[in-house]
Amino acid sequence: MKTNIFVQKTSNLFVENRLLKFVIVVLSLAVIFNSFMVYRAVKYQRVVLIPPKITGTVEFVQGKPTDTYLMDITRRIVNLAGTYSPPTARAQFEELLFYYAPESYPQASKAWYSLASRVEESQVSSVFYLEKIKLGDNFIEVFGNLKQLAGNTQLENTSKTYLIKYRLQDGRFYIVSLKEKFAKEQEG
């Protein structure tokens, strides 16, 4: 072993310089690897939500909800919109309005509060029996049986199909519109 190599200061500086370059390269590779793993973790992350009054867990994978979440939220919305009585209508419609998108809210609030007033004045109760949910891209089609009563008198007992147009923004479900689908639209 030769010790005279390290006797000169310049030799020691060159060895130290090489060691520092090696450490910088290793740290750079570690940062690149870490960045790749963080990107991968963020891309494939799962957020598990348990919204109020939803029975199961909800998963969003790559920003898209599972069908179970959409079905649960649809059942909740249909229950709020279709099953009501004079004492509960206004509170249910207020809760339903929380689901509306900001741009749809003014028109929807006018329509739902107007319906609440009519329900309270005429003492009409309604029950919607959900039979089928069909999921599409940014819309949900709901089919069921609607029964309306005024006191003990049955006003209506018909099959209805509703179309819920929605969007998901930052993991939140927004109703863009909720309308009845008429026979002409059902054929097409």
Name the residue ranges covered by the structural domains of the chain: 9-43, 65-187
Among 120, 127, 113, smallest CA distance to 78 is for: 127
Q: Which residue has the higher pLDDT, 29 or 149?
A: 29
Domain with residues 65-187, CATH architecture:
Roll (3.10)
Q: Is the pLDDT of residue 69 over 90?
A: no
Among 140, 182, 134, 135, smallest CA distance to 159 is for: 182
Q: Is the pLDDT of residue 176 over 90?
A: yes
**What is residue 73's three-state secondary structure?**
helix
Separation in Å, CA 153 to CA 1, 147, 148:
108, 11, 9
Dihedral sign, CA of 170, 172, 174, 180? positive
Q: Is the pLDDT of residue 61 over 80?
A: no
**What is residue 4's three-state secondary structure?**
helix
